[in-house]
């Protein structure tokens, strides 16, 4: 047999063998390609998949690869930088309708039967069903600005410095002058005990009218209490011995109670005000820390949405790839050039990718919900605010050069929590100063000076017991059994006149009184103030130790943030390279698969590696953006990074009554 005939015979034999193999494949128990189940099977909720691997008969619709979760967002206008500081004047909005002119309204309101109820738009069913269907495209800075203005949790934290400012004003209120006024009337009717007391009447009658005024004030300089009292009395009786009847008796008294040891010292009177001011500054620092934490949270929410969107795109691309592979393998199986096992492997990969799409959609929905509720862009006052579509994308090419030493200096200077602890140390020092003063004994000086006078009706009083009856300054007629009446000399007190005359005589300084009292008091062991002083010193030392611990933690935070930032820069670059090479490898493997040099399993393995590389790149780029936020948060410059103006306001204010 010639060589050419031998080659022809070999070709025929190989062809017959290939046909036999094809027939063998066709006779295998695999299902007919023409009646293969849906490439992506879905379980029926009423008939779930069993462990036996049975396929559902009524599959659910496949996911929309065009992305129904995508939004057509409308950009917002330019957003001005929010004012993060809380000035003392912010408390003024809560100080309305409380002045003297509104006291009648307050009095009437407290007796009103009206009950305060929750506004309808908070609890009504209509409000609960309201929703703003608009979507806004926001950059990260715009989202932060709007969230600071609208988020209710942050607004609640903003009220803490305002409430603390009222504590400062309450402490200053110690020096507010206290005005007192009293008016009373009293009448006594008692049996007489002497025949001479009422000139024959059976009852002794007295009637008193009082109108008294006083003004007391604690000195903001010496911590002493000085007062002015102006008391007035009008007395009337039927006594025959009353030299002035009715009588007006005004009294004017000045008093001073001044501590000399305990509760006395330089600026000691205002030490409670200083403690309240320190507490108000701590509240501001605490709010600053809450504001910085909130900005970082909004940033994390924002980048989480971006991450979820990118992961959804990756999952959808993987599903499209696997569905296309299922389509190709189904055709190949149908024409008999590919084993059904390759189709089943492709279908399994497509179902897995489909599940990943569902998971990615749920993650995106959840992350968008969190961002929407935190930003709270709600111009129409609906229950559900507007959706937020992030417009900012990760920028791994943006380099941030940070010097570690400079970052630590910034952290000590600007981290709000450290500022709050420094203020707590100052507050503890003030408490020590107060407790040291309380160890001293009480030595108080009391002084009083008063003026008095009287005026009224002064009858001429005749007394047979008086040695000067013949030399009296008035003449009074007495009853005589037979007319005419007998005239006798008597005495009239020189205090006749009306209430105005009594006031005039008051300023003559003729009738006065004064007193001076020096008191001393001290417990023998002085146990209570000594224990309080020791406790104050312990608290001061505790604050110092806690501050050192916080400084150490700040160093850890800064260095960790720097390490994470540099690592994430390198991760972003490395994962970008990994994605590039994975795509190239997948592309090459697809070419090999088309010419029959690679199996479905090999192709799916390369595709899985490419999907993993893309996911790692997305995660690394988002982690890099979060690392930038974390570094700015750890060195205290996060607010300045977004041009948010925040600084501690001086709560010191001196009302007119606290100046003396």
Question: Can you give the pLDDT at residue 651?
Answer: 93
Cβ partners under 8 Å of residue 639, min gap 6: 84, 288, 291, 292, 295, 646
Of residues 190 and 22, which shows the higher confidence score? 190
CA distances from 300 to 367, 558, 624 (A): 10, 18, 11
What's the mean pLDDT in 505-527? 93
Rounded-to-integer distance, Cα 310 and Cα 304, Å: 10
34 pLDDT above the threshold of 50: no
470 pLDDT above the threshold of 60: no
What's the mean pLDDT in 220-247? 90
Of residues 483 and 169, which shows the higher confidence score? 169
Question: Can you give the pLDDT at residue 173?
Answer: 92
32 pLDDT above the threshold of 70: no
Q: DSSP per residue over 586-648, as a string?
A: HHHHHHHHHTTSS-HHHHHHHHHHHHHHHHHHHHHHHHHHHHHHHHHHHTT-HHHHTT-B--P
Report whether 636 contacts 410 (CB < 8 A).
yes
381 pLDDT above the threshold of 50: yes
Q: Give pTM, 2 decimals.
A: 0.79
What's the mean pLDDT in 564-574? 94
Dihedral sign of CA atoms 319, 323, 326, 328 in order: negative
155 pLDDT above the threshold of 90: yes
Rounded-to-integer distance, Cα 272 and Cα 635, Å: 33
Question: Can you give the pLDDT at residue 482?
Answer: 60
Report whether 226 contacts 219 (CB < 8 A).
yes
Question: Can you give the pLDDT at residue 578?
Answer: 95
Which of 90-99, 143-152, 347-356, 599-608 is the least confident region?
A: 90-99
SS3 15: helix
Q: Given the DSSP bridges, would you call strands 135-138 and 387-390 parallel, antiparallel or unpaired?
A: parallel
* 183 DSSP β-pair partners: 211
Let me know how long the chain is. Answer: 660
- pLDDT confidence tier of residue 16, bands split at 50, 70 and 90: very low
Question: Can you give the pLDDT at residue 272?
Answer: 94
36 pLDDT above the threshold of 50: no
What's the mean pLDDT in 417-421? 95
388 pLDDT above the threshold of 60: yes
1 pLDDT above the threshold of 50: no
The string of pLDDT tens digits covering residues 345-367 is 999 999 999 999 999 999 999 99
Rounded-to-integer distance, Cα 510 and Cα 454, Å: 11
3-state secondary structure 129-173: CCECCCEEEECHHHHHHHHHHHCHHHHHHHHHHHHHHHHHHHHHH
Question: Can you give the pLDDT at residue 14?
Answer: 33
Among 421, 433, 401, which Cα is nearest to 631's? 401
60 pLDDT above the threshold of 60: no
Question: Can you give the pLDDT at residue 168?
Answer: 94
545-582: b (≥16 Cβ within 10 Å) or e: eebeebbeebbebbeebbebbeebbebbeebbebbeeb
Rounded-to-integer distance, Cα 158 and Cα 152, Å: 10
What's the mean pLDDT in 359-376? 95
CA distances from 626 to 73, 140, 191, 316, 405 (A): 24, 12, 95, 25, 22
Residue 470: DSSP 8-state: G
- pLDDT confidence tier of residue 70, bands split at 50, 70 and 90: low
187 pLDDT above the threshold of 80: yes
8 pLDDT above the threshold of 50: no
- pLDDT confidence tier of residue 479, bands split at 50, 70 and 90: low
Share of the chain above pLDDT 90, in %: 64
Rounded-to-integer distance, Cα 527 and Cα 506, Å: 49
- pLDDT confidence tier of residue 130, bands split at 50, 70 and 90: confident
The string of pLDDT tens digits covering residues 323-339 is 999 999 999 999 988 89
Share of the chain above pLDDT 70, in %: 82
What's the mean pLDDT in 463-492? 65
Which of 6-10, 360-364, 479-483, 504-508 is the least confident region?
A: 6-10
Question: Can you give the pLDDT at residue 107?
Answer: 66
Using omega within 30 degrees of 0 as the cis cutoff, is the peptide bond preceding 246 cis?
yes
The string of pLDDT tens digits covering residues 205-226 is 899 999 999 999 999 999 999 9
Which of 49-53, 470-474, 501-505 is the least confident region?
A: 49-53
Report whether 496 contacts 458 (CB < 8 A).
yes
Dihedral sign of CA atoms 580, 582, 587, 592 in order: positive
475 pLDDT above the threshold of 90: no
201 pLDDT above the threshold of 90: no
- Mean residue pLDDT of the chain comes to 84
Of residues 51 and 319, which shows the higher confidence score? 319
Question: Which stretch of DSSP H or E encloses residue 304?
Answer: helix 271-335
In CATH, the architecture of 74-95+125-171+270-393+404-434+528-658 is: Up-down Bundle (1.20)
- pLDDT confidence tier of residue 604, bands split at 50, 70 and 90: very high
- pLDDT confidence tier of residue 97, bands split at 50, 70 and 90: low
3-state secondary structure 580-591: HHHHHHHHHHHH
556 pLDDT above the threshold of 50: yes
């Amino acid at each position: 047999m010639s060589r050419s005939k031998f080659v022809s015979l070999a070709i025929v034999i190989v062809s017959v063998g290939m046909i036999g193999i094809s027939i063998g494949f066709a006779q295998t128990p695999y299902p007919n390609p023409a009646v293969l189940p849906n490439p992506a099977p879905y379980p029926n909720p009423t008939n779930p998949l069993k462990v036996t691997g049975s396929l559902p008969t009524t599959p659910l619709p496949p996911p929309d690869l065009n992305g129904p979760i995508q939004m057509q967002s409308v950009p917002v206008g330019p957003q001005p930088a929010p004012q993060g500081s809380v000035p003392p004047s912010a408390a003024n909005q809560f100080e309305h309708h409380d002045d003297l002119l509104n006291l009648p309204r307050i009095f009437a309101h407290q007796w009103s039967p009206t009950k305060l109820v929750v506004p309808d738009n908070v609890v009504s069913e209509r409000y609960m069903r309201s929703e703003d269907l608009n979507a806004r495209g926001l950059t990260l800075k715009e989202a932060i600005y709007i969230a600071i203005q609208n988020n209710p949790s942050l607004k609640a934290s903003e009220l803490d410095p305002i409430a603390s400012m009222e504590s400062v004003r309450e402490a200053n209120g110690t020096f507010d002058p206290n005005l007192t006024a009293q008016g009373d009337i009293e009448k006594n009717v008692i049996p007489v005990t002497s025949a001479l007391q009422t000139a024959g009447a059976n009852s002794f009658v007295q009637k008193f009218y009082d109108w008294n005024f006083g003004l007391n004030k604690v000195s903001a300089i010496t911590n002493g209490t000085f007062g002015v009292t102006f008391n007035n009395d009008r007395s009337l009786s039927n006594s025959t011995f009353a030299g002035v009847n009715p009588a007006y008796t005004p009294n004017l008294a000045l008093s001073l109670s001044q501590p000399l040891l305990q509760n006395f010292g330089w600026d000691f009177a205002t030490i409670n005000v200083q403690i309240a001011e320190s507490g108000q500054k701590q509240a501001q620092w605490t709010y600053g820390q809450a504001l910085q934490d909130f900005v970082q949270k909004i940033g994390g929410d924002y980048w989480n949405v971006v991450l979820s969107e990118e992961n959804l795109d990756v999952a959808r691309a993987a599903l499209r790839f696997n569905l296309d592979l299922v389509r190709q393998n189904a055709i190949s199986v149908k024409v008999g050039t590919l084993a059904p096992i390759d189709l089943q492997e492709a279908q399994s990969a497509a179902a897995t990718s489909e599940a990943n799409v569902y998971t990615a959609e749920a993650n995106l929905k959840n992350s968008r919900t969190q961002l929407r509720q935190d930003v709270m862009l709600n111009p129409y006052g609906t229950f559900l605010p507007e959706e937020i579509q992030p417009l900012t994308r990760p920028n791994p090419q943006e380099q941030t050069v940070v010097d570690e030493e400079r970052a630590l200096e910034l952290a000590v200077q600007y981290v709000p929590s450290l500022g709050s602890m420094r203020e707590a140390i100052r507050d503890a020092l003030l408490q020590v100063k107060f407790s040291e003063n309380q160890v001293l004994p009480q030595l108080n000086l009391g002084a009083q000076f008063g003026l008095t006078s009287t005026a009224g009706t002064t009858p001429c009083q005749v007394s047979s017991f008086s040695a000067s009856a013949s030399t009296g300054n008035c003449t009074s007629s007495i009853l005589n059994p037979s007319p005419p009446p007998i005239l006798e000399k008597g005495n009239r007190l020189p205090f006749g006149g009306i209430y105005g005359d009594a006031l005039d005589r008051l300023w003559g300084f003729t009738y006065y009184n004064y007193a001076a009292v020096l008191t001393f008091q001290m417990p023998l062991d002085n146990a209570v103030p000594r224990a309080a002083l020791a406790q104050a010193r312990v608290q001061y030392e505790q604050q110092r130790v806690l501050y050192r611990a916080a400084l150490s933690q700040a160093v850890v935070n800064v260095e960790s943030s720097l390490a994470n930032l540099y690592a994430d820069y390198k991760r972003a670059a490395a994962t970008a390279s990994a994605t590039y090479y994975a795509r190239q490898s997948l592309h090459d493997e697809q070419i090999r698969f088309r010419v029959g040099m690679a199996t479905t399993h090999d192709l799916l393995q390369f595709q899985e590696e490419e999907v993993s590389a893309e996911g790692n790149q997305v995660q690394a780029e988002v982690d890099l953006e979060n690392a930038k936020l974390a570094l700015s948060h750890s060195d205290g410059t996060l607010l300045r990074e977004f041009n948010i103006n925040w600084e501690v306001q001086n709560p010191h204010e001196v009302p007119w009554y606290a100046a003396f």
